[in-house]
Amino acid sequence: MAGAAFPAVVLSLLGAATFLVGSASAAWHAQVFVVGGEPRGWRKPTAPNEESYNHWAVRNRFHVGDFLHFKYDKNDSVLVVTRDAYQLCVVDKPTLHFEGGDTRFRLDHSAFYYFISGAEGHCDAGQRMTLRVMVPQQGDGSKAPAPAEAPAAAMSPGGEDDEGGTFDPPPGPRRSSPPGSGGAGSSSPGSGSGSVSRPPPHVAPGADGNKTSAAGSMHDASSSPSLRGHRVVLGVALAELLLFLAA
């Protein structure tokens, strides 16, 4: 009788393992946001009625592990700056500096981030952006939210953040793009890359012209309460199998 029941137990364990793996793959995945949406990208505003970059940022939801994809002209740049430098359009001492026309920047921790253009007069003309990055919550999906779901409270009516704060890179050496470097920026986590060193993940259309894509799971699956529960279920099933075999 034990021999006849053994296949059923094995199938049960396989089902539990499949459920666990499926839950892990369905967990939150990082998104790649094309800044400003397509085909606009990162550039100096050319019309007074153009959507500001802050308004674009408010319409989206950014989580730790997501990427910002800046697409811009070769004579432009992306500067990561402090809140004060953002407000005054100070380009002299950025925290990070990227050139080359194509930069992917990883949002590696929860904070307000501040970006401005390094080209003369561009920041004053509106080529700047501040956004808030949040920690992924259980149940967050991989799709960008509708505009009404975006965290509008993260910005004040004037476009500035309400809480302040400054992007603080993780400890350790970092490199910024020297003039004439051909776009090679910092490649350490939390900073970015002046040029994409490998083909970017498949990009699918998102809300209102923005494009997002799954870029691999950037969330620590072991910290998910639901995954811990699945592991408990699998452990109980394995224990039952051992007891069954011992009998």
| pLDDT classification of 37: cutoffs 50, 70, 90 | very high
Task: Give the percent of the chain with pLDDT over 70.
Answer: 44
Task: List C-alpha distances in Å: 200 to 176, 178, 211, 244.
Answer: 21, 24, 12, 49
* Percentages of the chain per state (helix, strand, coil), in multiples of 5: 30, 15, 55
Nearest to 100 by CA among 76, 116, 127, 80: 76
Task: Give the percent of the chain with pLDDT over 90.
Answer: 41
Quote the pLDDT of residue 221: 36
Joined together, the tokens standing for residue 237 give: 């099933």
Quote the pLDDT of residue 3: 56
pLDDT, one tens digit per residue, over 128-180 is 999 999 998 765 554 444 443 434 333 433 444 433 344 455 454 443 333 33
Cα of 104 vs its chain's centroid, Å: 10
Q: Where are the domains of the chain?
A: 1-27+222-247, 29-218
pLDDT greater than 60 at residue 207 = no
Q: Tokens 């998102």 map to which residue?
A: 206
Q: Which CATH superfamily is domain 29-218 in?
A: Cupredoxins -  blue copper proteins (2.60.40.420)
Quote the pLDDT of residue 48: 87
Burial of 148 (0-12, 13-18, 19+ CB in 10 A): exposed
Joined together, the tokens standing for residue 12 give: 């049960």
pLDDT, one tens digit per residue, over 54-63 is 999 999 999 9
Q: For the residues 182-210, what does the mean pLDDT come to?
A: 41
Sign of the Cα pseudo-torsion (47, 147, 164, 175, in order): negative
User: How far apart are alpha carbons 165 and 222 in whole angstroms?
Assistant: 29
pLDDT greater than 80 at residue 107 = yes
Most confident of 75-79, 217-221, 242-246: 75-79
* Beta-carbon contacts of residue 177 (< 8 Å; ≥ 6 apart): 77, 97, 98, 99, 100, 183, 184, 185, 186, 194
pTM of the predicted structure, to 2 decimals: 0.56
Average pLDDT, the chain: 68
Burial of 165 (0-12, 13-18, 19+ CB in 10 A): middle
pLDDT, one tens digit per residue, over 75-98 is 999 999 999 999 999 999 999 999
